[in-house]
Structures are given as structure tokens and as C-alpha cells.
Amino acid sequence: PSPVLDEARHAAPLAGLGALGACLVVLALRMNRPTPSRRGRALRRMLAEAREGLLSRSNGPGVLVSSVVVLAGHIAMFVLAARVTGTDAAVSRLLPLAVLALLAMSLPLNVGGWGPREGVTAWAFGAAGLGAGQGLAVAVVYGVLCLVASLPGLVVLAARWYAGLRAGRRTVTEPVVTGPGAQAGTYPRASPRAA
């Protein structure tokens, strides 16, 4: 129960009609343009590429399946975080809370997902009657689990760094003249990649 929800129900039809009217005005204006501008052509190309990459018959099913698998993984990790913190709520009750937390993480107002996720999860758990403190604990455990899940990537970065370091330690010889009338000699020096 929320007073905001009651007000939103009254305003939703008007907002929907306003959005529909705005879309019709934009469509009418686009139809009357004789030739698209340079930016318009670039935007059309970009949208056509995005449509081909995401919605085409060859790519669309793969994008959809991989998105569903990733979403299921995030929700499963959220439920695991809830269980670790001692939340005994049913998965069907945690599912909308997990989706809210994921939406909050996607806001570009965070540092590695930290920030809005904790606030929204605490608020959502409090609104669901599970306790804001419990929601904050779930969000923090979820963040730690995400951090731990990304640690195998550190192994890959370390292996690349080590391979680059080994490749950079090879030495090359080149002639050096040290002064007027000095004889040319050679000395080993590290390759430029090592520097």
C-alpha cells in the first residue's frame, strides 16, 4: 500500500495519452522532412546495425537466450545472498526485490554497482516487510559475491601481464659508438617493450 501508487494510477492514463500524442507529433514532423540530415542518416545507420545485431532472425534468439541465462544467474546469486544472510522468504517473494536491485545497479550513479543497489534493496525489503537492515545485508553480500565471481578474470589479467613481462625481458644487441674516434661495440639492452 502506497499513496504514491494511488496517485500514479490516476495520472497514468493522462501520461500515456500525452506520450502517444508526442510520438504522433514526432512522426508527423519526420514524414514532412524532404531529405534526412547527416546526423539523421548516421542515426538511421546506427539503429539499423543495432536492429540487425539484436533483433534479426539469426542473432535475436541467441541474444534472448543469453540475456535470460545471465538474468537467471543474477537472480540466483541474489537468492543465494538472501539465504546467506538468513532471509527465509520464498523465492517468489524475493524475485521482484532482486529485479529492483538489478535495475538500481544499472543506474549510472554507482561505483561498481555499489550505492543505489544497497539503498533500493533496503527500501524494497522494508516495504515488503522483511526489514531494511536485512535488505542492506543482502545487497552487501550480493556485491561481495559478484566481486568474488569476477576474480577469475584477475588470473587472466595476471597471466597476460606475466607473458608480456617475459616477452619484454628478451635482450637485443646493437652497435654503440661512445665518443669521437671510439670503436663501435655491442651491449645487451632491454627491448622497448620492457620499458
Task: List the chain domain ranges.
Answer: 3-61, 69-149
| Residue 135 confidence (pLDDT) | 92
Q: Report how far residue 180's alpha carbon sits from residue 188's, in angstroms, rounded to the nearest whole number.
A: 22
Residue 195 has pLDDT above 80, yes or no: no
Q: Report how far residue 39's alpha carbon sits from residue 30's, in angstroms, rounded to the nearest whole number.
A: 13
| Residue 46 confidence (pLDDT) | 87
Indicate the pLDDT class of residue 144, thresholds 50, 70 and 90. very high
Please report the sign of the dihedral spanned by the C-alpha atoms of residue 166, residue 167, residue 168, residue 171.
positive
| Residue 69 confidence (pLDDT) | 95
| Residue 137 confidence (pLDDT) | 94
Determine contact, residues 89/130, Cβ cutoff 8 Å.
Answer: yes
Does 164 or 71 have the greater pLDDT score? 71
Does 97 or 8 have the greater pLDDT score? 97
Q: Report how far residue 145's alpha carbon sits from residue 148's, in angstroms, rounded to the nearest whole number.
A: 5
Does 182 or 57 have the greater pLDDT score? 57
Closest CA to 137 of 146, 129, 127, 125: 125
Distances (CA, A) of 159 to 123, 147, 156, 190: 42, 19, 5, 21
Residue 170 has pLDDT above 70, yes or no: no
Alpha helices in the chain (DSSP H): 3-31, 38-55, 60-84, 91-105, 116-127, 132-149, 152-168
pLDDT digits (tens, 9 = 90+) for 90-139: 888 999 999 988 888 888 887 877 888 888 899 999 988 899 999 999 99
Indicate the pLDDT class of residue 83, thresholds 50, 70 and 90. very high
Whole-structure pTM value: 0.60
| Residue 54 confidence (pLDDT) | 78
| Residue 173 confidence (pLDDT) | 52
Q: What is the largest CA-CA distance in the chain?
A: 94
Does 176 or 160 have the greater pLDDT score? 160
Does 131 or 188 have the greater pLDDT score? 131
Q: Report how far residue 52's alpha carbon sits from residue 186's, in angstroms, rounded to the nearest whole number.
A: 58
